[in-house]
Structure formats: C-alpha cells, structure tokens
Amino acid sequence: MSVVQNQVGTGETVDKIPNGPGAAAILAAGVGCAAVGIVTLASELSDAVGNLLNFYNPVGALSGKTTVAIIVWLIAWFVLARLWAKESVAMGTVNLVAFILLGIGFVLTFPPVWTLF
C-alpha cells in the first residue's frame, strides 16, 4: 500500500490522511457528552426514566445514565467511522456541531438548569 505524502512547512513531509476518521471521533465525542447531559436531564425530570436507569441498585440511576451515554457514544463513533472512513468532510461544520453538543453536555449536567424545565 502506498502512502500519499504532503509537504508542509519548511520541507517537512507528512502522510496525507483524510479527515473523516478524525471528524467521526470528534463528532461522536460531542454526541457522547450531549448524551450524558440529556440522559441526566431526562432522569431528573421523570421518576419513571430514573427508575428505568437504575441498572445497579447501590449506584442508582447514575449507573444507567452513564452506561446509556457510553453506548450512545460508541455506537455514534462506530457508525460515523464506517461512513467517513475514507472521506474528507466539512470540518468546520463538524466542529461547530461537536462544540454545541459538548456545551449541551456541560449545561445539562449543571443542577440549577434542571429547575428550568
């Protein structure tokens, strides 16, 4: 397999790799972070959801919230990585969406925000 190389900077040569796999990991990380926030909020707003997420009694709903978020993150990563394995995607758009999702993760895990819903 030949490796395509690209010259950058002052005479330095690096392998040319499409941005798809990296973009998939970045967007999936955003999805995972948002999933933590969304599942947390859902659990706080609904006792039924909270009870459903009680996978392990000593830990309570936190066990389900984190397990679900990790599964969502890994599935998103797997699917996006398959789709974009050899693609070059619009990285600006991927970043924007990933940062918004990351922000959702931070905001929705902050308890005072739960009272707004």
Partner 1 sequence: MEITTHDLWTALHGMGFGALFMLAFTGAIVELYRMSAPGAPSLMSARERTLLNFYLWAMVVLAWLTVFSGTYIIYPWYRAVPPAGVTDLAEYPRRLLLSSGRTSQWHNVGMEWKEHVAWLAPIAITMVAYVASKYSRAIVQHGRMRVAVLVFIVAAFVSTGIAGGFGAFLNKYAPIRGGDVIILMGEGK
Q: Please give the residue ranges that form the binding site for partner 1 (CB under 8 A).
A: 6, 8-9, 12, 14-17, 19, 21-23, 25-26, 28-29, 32-33, 36-37, 40, 56, 58-60, 62-63, 65-66, 69-70, 73, 91-92, 94-95, 98-99, 102, 105-106, 109-112
What is the residue type of 28?
Answer: A
Nearer to partner 1, 5 or 48 (CB): 5
CB of 46: closest distance to partner 1 in angstroms?
A: 16
d(CA 98, CA 29): 7
- Find all residues with CB under 8 Å of 55, minimum gap 6, and list them: 63, 64, 67
For residues 65, 66, 72, 77, the Cα torsion angle rounded to the nearest 10 degrees is 160
CB of 90: closest distance to partner 1 in angstroms?
A: 9
